[in-house]
Each structure stands twice: as structure tokens, then as C-alpha cells.
Amino acid sequence: MTSSNLTRGAATWALLSLAVGSFGIGMTEFVVMGLLPDIGQDLLPSLWALRSEDAIAQAGWLISLYALGVVIGAPTIAGAVAKYPRRRVMIGLALALTVFNALTFLAPTFEWVAASRFLAGLPHGAYFGIGALVAAEVLGPGMRAKGVAFVLTGLTVANVVGVPLGTFIGQQVGWRAAFMIVAAIFLAATVLIALFVPEDEGDPSRTMRAELKVFRIGQVWLALAVGAIGFGGFFAVYSYVAPMVTDVAGSPEWAVPIVLVLMGIGMTIGNLVGGHLADVDLRRTLVGGLIGLAVVLALVGATAQWIWALALFVFATGFVSSVLSPTIQTRLMDVAQDNQSIAAALNHSALNIGNSLGAFLGGLVIAAGWGFVAPAWVGVVLALAGLAIAAASLVTERRRMPAGV
């Protein structure tokens, strides 16, 4: 399955099919955040009656359980299925996402919903990781990062369209409706992948034991650290955009979704630009992206009191962070040598660790009384730490290259 035996139209349809699934993943991961009050009131009525904040906080466990599923499922599933044909694996993953999100729609109690969210997180990393490998093979040498970015576009577009729309529908007709829509999207992705992603041969030698050799490669650990720490700077701000808009900039609540949509637009554009730049010069894109992330997060921190500046630099944050997304993914594929299935999936474990780390540290500085702008400065520190790790990785790699390379 290479660019040599696929027409441009066939390759586009294959990538679109994968992107539909990534759109569903973006929606199922983030739509729950806007529906926490609805879920808490519906599934935890006794706690809601006593104190609504406690019910919302407990409903927030659903976000953590999904992230835990991603962290656990990415390497284990990717390693277990590495020997099988990737087209069949992608069909199976899309079908699993259909079933687990349908379970969220049907689950009668909070405990069942919690279990379904954990299960829905399990295929997340493997879908993106193996999907990235399929996309890279479909487009061929010199265009791998563009293929990765194309698949990730579904995730970024979900933040612009799917999450706001799903949140609105869930608020109007019941939170379960959002997950019914998500399940339908994954069902469509299953059918499209079966129709348009080309057949390929598996590799029986790629056993779990063989794939686990990826953890012996130092450069893989450094690339994962860049994602978990450097990208954590983005999540430090993303997690606390709402209070920045309302409490710092003094804007009404209706301005929050507008600012979030602007971030999503920035992410979508940045993802496509990042795919192009990474194919041109991956190392410079990685370093430049991390420097850029630190700069725009500092600008968020310095100008958050003005809503126009906050909106502008939140857009820029989304743009720069998504330039990094396909870049880090492709970097992992480069340094993993022959162990790409687990490595590609591990990127999403790392990003979810970054999600937790950024949100946690941002919450710490807020709790310490430093204000809602403080997470932006936490983000600057994390981005610079990621830059230091990336620089160490590239310097080490350069020293080990043969002379003249």
C-alpha cells in the first residue's frame, strides 16, 4: 500500500475515511466537558440536590477515566495488533469505538457510564497511531507528515464544529443524544474505512514482544517527553480558558464558546501547516514550534485582561500547538526504527499525560492564589522544558550520525 499503486483520488478517500473516525474521537473526548452539569444532574440526583458542585466534580471523573483508557490502551492494543493487516485493524478499532460510545448512550447508571468512558478511551491511541502509519503509507515518502496531519484534521475540526454542536444538542434534548451522534459517526467511519482504505499484508514477525523493543530506544523516550511536557503547556491554558475570558477579561459567558471556536480554527489551520512544514524540515519545525508556543503563551499571560488580545493569542496558541502535533507524531515514527505501531500510538498516551499535567499544574497555581492568568506562565515553563528536551534529543542524534551525514 504505497503512493505508487493508489490514484490521488483513492488516497484522498482513504484519508477522509480515517479523518471521519478522528472527528468522532475529538467529539467523544471533549464534548463531555460541556455536558458535565447535565450528566451530574441526571446520573447523580441525590448528590446534585445536596450540592451541585460536588455532582459536577464527580461527573468530571468521566474525563479522567477516558484519559486513563487512552494511556493504557494505546501501547497495549497497538502492540497486540501489530502483526495484523492495518486496514482490518482500523475497521476493528472504529467498530469498537462505535460499540463503546453506544454503550455510553445506553448506560443506565453513573457506574456503567464510567465504565463505558474508560472502554471508549482504550482504542483512541491505537486508532490515531496506526491510522497515522496508514496515512503515511498511502501518501508515500516525502509526504508522510501531510498524511498524518490530514488524519488529525478530523480531531481539530471536531473542536470547531462537533464539540459545540454536540454540546448544544446535549443541552437541549439530553446529554445522551451527543453520544448517540458520536456512535453514528464511528459507524460511518467503520463503513468508509472498509470501502476506501486499501488492503495490505500483515507482518507476523511483529509480535508484542518485538514491538516492546521500542522502549529500549532512548530517542523514543525523549520524543514522548517532548509531547508529555512541552505539549502540556498548551493544556495548561486550554483547561482554564473559560475563567480567563469571564474573570480576567471581564467578558460575558457567551464569549467563552466563541474564544474556544477561535482556538479550534487555529488548531485546524496549524495542523495542516505543521504537516507541510514537518515534511520540509522536521527538526526546525519541532524547535520553532516549541519556541513559538512559549512566546504565544507568554503573550496570553501578558494581555489576558483585554478580550480582543486574549482571543487573538488563544487562536495563536491553537495554531502553534497544532503545528507541533503532526511534527511530534512523525518524529516518533522516525526514531522508532522498526517498532512503529506502539511508538505511533504512544504519542497519544504522552499527549494525554500532557493534558493531565498541564491541567493539574494550572490548577495548583490557581489554588495557590496566583490567579487565573497563572496557568499561562505554567505553560511557558512547560513549553521551554519541552524545548530543552527536544534540543537534547537532536544534539544527541546529531553526534551519533556518521561524519558527513
Q: Does residue 365 share a domain with residue 301?
A: yes
Cell of 388: 530543552
Same domain, 183 and 49: yes
Q: Say whether both 269 and 200 belong to one domain.
A: no
For residue 402, what pLDDT is reported?
54
Q: Residue 379's closest CA among 264, 259, 297?
A: 297
pTM beyond 0.75: yes
Residues 6+ apart with CB under 8 A from 188: 20
Note whether 33 and 134 are same-domain residues.
yes
**What pLDDT score was predicted for residue 405?**
44
- Same structural domain, 334 and 384: yes
Q: Looking at residue 404, what is its pLDDT?
A: 47
CA distance 362 to 368: 10
Q: Are residues 38 and 114 in the same domain?
A: yes
Question: What grid cell was written down for 284?
Answer: 526546525
Domain identity same for 234 and 248: yes
Confidence at residue 401, expressed as pLDDT on a 0 to 100 scale:
59
Q: Where does a domain end: 149, 171, 206?
A: 206
What is the domain count for the chain? 2
Which domain covers residue 94, as residue numbers?
Answer: 1-206
Around Cβ 286, how many Cβ atoms within 10 Å?
A: 28
231/237 Cα distance (integer angstroms): 11
Are residue 239 and residue 326 in the same domain, yes or no?
Answer: yes
Q: How far apart are CA 201 and CA 224, in angstroms?
A: 29
Are both 149 and 284 inside the same structural domain?
no
Which residues of the chain register pLDDT less than 50?
Answer: 1-4, 403-405
Q: Do 382 and 355 share a structural domain?
A: yes
Same domain, residue pair 195 and 224: no
CB atoms within 10 A of CB 405: 6
Whose CA is closest to 351, among 368, 375, 380, 326? 326
CB 248 within 8 A of CB 256: no
Q: Give 89's contacts (C-beta < 8 A, 6+ positions apart).
A: 81, 126, 130
Cα separations in angstroms, 53 against 38, 44, 47, 76, 106: 12, 11, 9, 36, 25
- Closest to 158 (Cα-Cα) out of 318, 296, 353, 8: 318
Closest to 335 (Cα-Cα) out of 178, 207, 226, 196: 226
3-state secondary structure 74-106: HHHHHHHCCCCCHHHHHHHHHHHHHHHHHHHHH
Grid cell in block for residue 10:
483513492
* End-of-domain residue from the set 206, 238, 263: 206
Domain end, chosen from 206, 222, 249, is at 206
| Per-residue pLDDT, 4 | 44
The CATH number of whichever domain residue 58 belongs to comes to 1.20.1250.20
Read out DSSP for 190-244?
HHHHHHHSPP----TT--HHHHGGGGG-HHHHHHHHIIIIITHHHHHHHTTHHHI
Say if residue 194 is in the same domain as residue 273: no
